[in-house]
């Protein structure tokens, strides 16, 4: 995203909150995007692939400017991402 952009929704999907690494990454991405003026929808899937797929499908319906996904299983996400 351009440094001067700053408007619209960005969906951020992380795999789990059971690892401090993903919590730190999610918080860092959210704060940096908000500093640029974006609205951020940060979600964690709790290591549940169907849950993350559902989160992705819901994000797509919101029409985000971008999606940032730390996928649990990238193969499962492929069909939904084709729609985005």
Between residues 77 and 52, the one the model is more confident about = 52
Helix (H, G, I), strand (E, B) or coil at 60: helix
- Tell me the pTM: 0.88
pLDDT at 80: 84
- 41, 46, 15, 19: which is closest to 30 by C-alpha? 41
Average pLDDT on 56-83 reads 91
- Start-to-end CA distance of the chain, whole Å, equals 17
Q: What is the pLDDT of residues 23-69, one digit of tens each?
A: 999 999 999 999 999 999 999 999 999 999 999 999 999 999 999 99
């Amino acid at each position: 995203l351009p440094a001067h952009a700053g408007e619209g929704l960005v969906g951020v999907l992380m795999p789990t909150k059971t690892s401090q690494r993903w919590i730190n990454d999610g918080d860092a991405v959210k704060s940096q995007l908000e500093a640029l003026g974006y609205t951020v929808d940060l979600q964690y899937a709790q290591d549940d692939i169907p849950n993350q797929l559902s989160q992705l499908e819901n994000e797509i319906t919101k029409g985000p400017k971008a999606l940032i996904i730390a996928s649990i299983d990238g193969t499962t996400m492929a069909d939904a991402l084709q729609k985005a």
